[in-house]
Amino acid sequence: MDESMWGHLPLLVRSNSKESVEYILQALWRTRTTGLDSADRDIIRDMLQLPTDSDLDPLLVCLRILMRRCVYENFSKDEIHKLFPQEVSPELQRLLTLLLQKFQREWRDDALKDQVSLPRLKAMTWNMANHDAESTDHVAVINLKLQDDTQSLSGETEVKFQLAKDTMETMLRSLHYIRNQLSNTGDTSNGHLQGPETS
C-alpha cells in the first residue's frame, strides 16, 4: 500500500470506541461489491465526526485495501500485524489487528462463496451449411458442450447458435480464444475441439 495512504488511518481514533470501528469494517465488507450507500456513509461520517466525504473517502479506500489483503493474501491470523508499517501507531495497529483477526475466517468464507464457478468447455463443433435452398449465404451452426462441475448430477449443457458468413470467421477466432481460456481453468484432458464438419 502507498505509504501516503496510512496517514488517513488515525481518523479512526475519532470514533472513540472499538464497536464503532468494528461497525465500519463490517459495513465495508457487507458492501464490498456495491459500495456504501448514502445512509451508511452518513452514519460512518457521524461516527468519525468528519464534515465531508472528501475526508472520508481516502480512509475507506485504505481500509478496503487492508481488508482485501487480510482476506486474499496469505496472512495467517498471527501475521496480520505485519500489514502495518511502523508509522501506524501501536494503539491503532492493535485495534485493527484484533478486528481483522476476528473477522478473517468469516470473510474468507464469504470470499469463497463470491467466486463464480465457470463451466468448462468440453467440446465445440460446427457445421457448414446453406441457410436454405434458395440462398447462397452460408451459415455456421455452432454447438458448445459445457460441463458444470458444481452440479453433482449431469452438469452438461449444450448451446447451439447460427452465424452468418460475414461474422463467422471473427466469431470462430473468438471461440478458439474463449475455448483456450476456459480450458486453462480446469482439467480438460477429455475436452476436444472439432470442426468443421460437412453436412
pLDDT at position 123, please? Answer: 67
pLDDT at position 34, please? Answer: 87
- Last residue within a domain, chosen from 98, 114, 130: 114
Q: Both 148 and 101 in a single domain?
A: no
Which residue(s) pair with 139 in the sheet? Answer: 129, 164
Q: Both 140 and 107 in a single domain?
A: no
> Is 67:27 a contact under the CB 8 Å cutoff?
no
pLDDT at position 141, please? Answer: 72
pTM exceeds cut of 0.85? no
Q: Both 147 and 105 in a single domain?
A: no
> Is 111:32 a contact under the CB 8 Å cutoff?
no
pLDDT at position 87, please? Answer: 82
pLDDT at position 75, please? Answer: 84
Q: Both 128 and 98 in a single domain?
A: no
Task: Tell me: pLDDT of 61 over 70.
Answer: yes
Instruction: Give the tens place of pLDDT for each residue, 129-159.
Output: 655 555 555 666 777 777 665 554 556 677 6
Instruction: Give the tens place of pLDDT for each residue, 88-142.
Output: 889 999 999 999 999 999 999 988 887 755 566 666 666 666 555 555 556 667 7
Q: Both 75 and 154 in a single domain?
A: no
pLDDT at position 143, please? Answer: 72
Q: Both 102 and 85 in a single domain?
A: yes
Q: How many CB atoms lie within 10 A of CB 21?
A: 21
pLDDT at position 192, please? Answer: 47
Q: Both 15 and 110 in a single domain?
A: yes
- Last residue within a domain, chosen from 114, 145, 166: 114
pLDDT at position 48, please? Answer: 93
Q: Both 27 and 85 in a single domain?
A: yes
Q: Both 63 and 106 in a single domain?
A: yes
Q: Both 39 and 129 in a single domain?
A: no
Q: Both 108 and 136 in a single domain?
A: no
- Last residue within a domain, chosen from 87, 114, 141: 114
Domain range spanning residue 25? 3-114
Q: Both 107 and 127 in a single domain?
A: no
What mean pLDDT do residues 52-63 have? 88
pLDDT band at 188 (very low <50, low <70, confident <90, very high): very low
Q: Compute the distance between CA of residue 51 and CA of residue 45 in angstroms, rounded to an integer.
A: 7
How many domains are contained in the chain?
Answer: 2
Q: What 3-state class would DSSP assign to 118?
A: coil
More confidently predicted of 154 and 23? 23
Instruction: Please name the residues in contact with 67: beta carbons below 8 A apart, sequence gap of 6 or more.
Output: 25, 28, 29, 32, 100, 107
What mean pLDDT do residues 2-19 have? 80
pLDDT band at 190 (very low <50, low <70, confident <90, very high): very low
What mean pLDDT do residues 61-87 have? 88
